[in-house]
Amino acid sequence: MRYQMLTTAALAAVALADDSSSASATTTGIPATSTYDIKVGSDNLKFDPETLTASPGDLLNFHFYNGNHSVAQSSYDSPCQAQDNGIFSGFFAGGSGKDEDSKVFSMRLNDTNPMWLYCAAGEHCKAGMGMVINAPSGSDQTLSSYKDKAKSADVKVPSSVYGGVVHDKPQGTTTASASSASATKKSGAAVVAARGSMLGLVGGLVGVVMLL
Ligand X SMILES: *[C@@H]1O[C@H](CO)[C@@H](O)[C@H](O)[C@H]1NC(C)=O
Q: Which of residues 163, 167, 188, 209 is near ligand X by CB under 6 A?
A: 163
> For residues 35 and 40, what is the distance between their CA atoms, to the nearest angstrom?
16
Q: What are the E-state strand segments in the chain?
A: 35-40, 47-48, 51-52, 59-65, 72-74, 100-108, 115-118, 130-133, 164-168
Would you say 6 or 36 has its CB closer to ligand X? 36
The answer to whether the CB of 191 falls within 8 A of the CB of 128 is: no
Select the residue interacting with ligand X from 164, 167, 190, 191 (CB under 6 A): 164
Q: Which CB, 50 or 57, lies closer to ligand X?
A: 57
CB nearer to ligand X: give 130 or 163: 163
Cβ nearer to ligand X, comparing 6 with 20: 20
> Which DSSP category does 96 fall into?
B
Enumerate residues 70-89 that contact ligand X by CB under 6 A. Answer: 87
Shorter beta-carbon distance to ligand X: residue 92 or 146: 92
d(CA 1, CA 92): 46
Distance of CA 39 to the CA centre of its chain: 11
Provide, rounded to whole angstroms, the least separation between the CB of residue 108 and ligand X. 5
Q: Determine if the peptide bond prior to 49 is cis (ω within 30°).
A: yes
Nearer to ligand X, 68 or 141 (CB): 68
Q: Do the beta carbons of residue 171 and residue 141 sit within 8 Å? A: no
Q: How many residues bind ligand X (CB under 6 A)?
A: 14
CB burial of 103-135 (b: ≥16 within 10 Å; e: otherwise) equals bbbbbbbeeeebbbbbbbbeebbbebbbbbbbb
Chain residues 86-115 in contact with ligand X, contact rule CB under 6 A: 87, 91, 93, 107-108, 110
Site string for ligand X, 14-53 (x = CB under 6 A): -----x----------------------------------
How many of the other CB atoms lie within 10 Å of CB of 204?
12
Instruction: State the nearest-atom distance from the C-beta of 50 to ligand X, in Å.
Output: 18
Is 188 a binding residue for ligand X by CB under 6 A? The answer is no
**What distance lies between CA 132 and its chain's CA centroid?**
13
For ligand X, the binding residues in 133-162 under the rule CB under 6 A are 157
Contacting positions for ligand X (CB under 6 A):
19, 68, 87, 91, 93, 107-108, 110, 121-122, 157, 163-164, 193
